[in-house]
Amino acid sequence: MQKESSTAFLLSISLSDALSLKVLAVSKQIAIGFSKTNIPYLTSKTAIVTSSNSWIGKQTVAVLAAKGAKVYLGARSHDKYITALGDIHASNPPTKNSNVVFLEVDLSSAASAKASAERFKS
């Protein structure tokens, strides 16, 4: 694909490319001194993490939960939530007593994304 402008290119990158860019950005931050220990405690904070079945989503949930945030783990089904949560707890023991909550999120359509937002607000 030939890009006509940088804006057109950014709008047309695939999800896997976007995730690769996130991983690269995180790797770059770690390389310049960013680490889990630099993140303050987040006890009074709330976070929603979508794409929680992906590696970067699980790692994001793990770090936020280990730092005390209430984390809504966005997944398309409760089964996917249970699987992701099991993976997170297995690889990050400090998250076992954390506050990670299921939020049904399907970002495949605007209507379902809006419904998820409404469920979160209620």
pLDDT of 62 higher than 50: yes
Options 3.30.365.10, 3.30.470.20, 3.30.10.20, 3.40.50.720; which CATH number does 41-121 get? Answer: 3.40.50.720
Least Cα distance to 73 among 96, 42, 94, 52 occurs for 52
Q: Is the pLDDT of residue 11 over 80?
A: no
Cα separation of 22 and 26, whole Å? 6
Q: Are 16 and 22 in contact (CB under 8 A)?
A: no
Span 94-110, mean pLDDT?
A: 83
Mean pLDDT over residues 56-60, rounded? 87
Q: How confident is the model at residue 4 (pLDDT cuts 50, 70, 90)?
A: very low
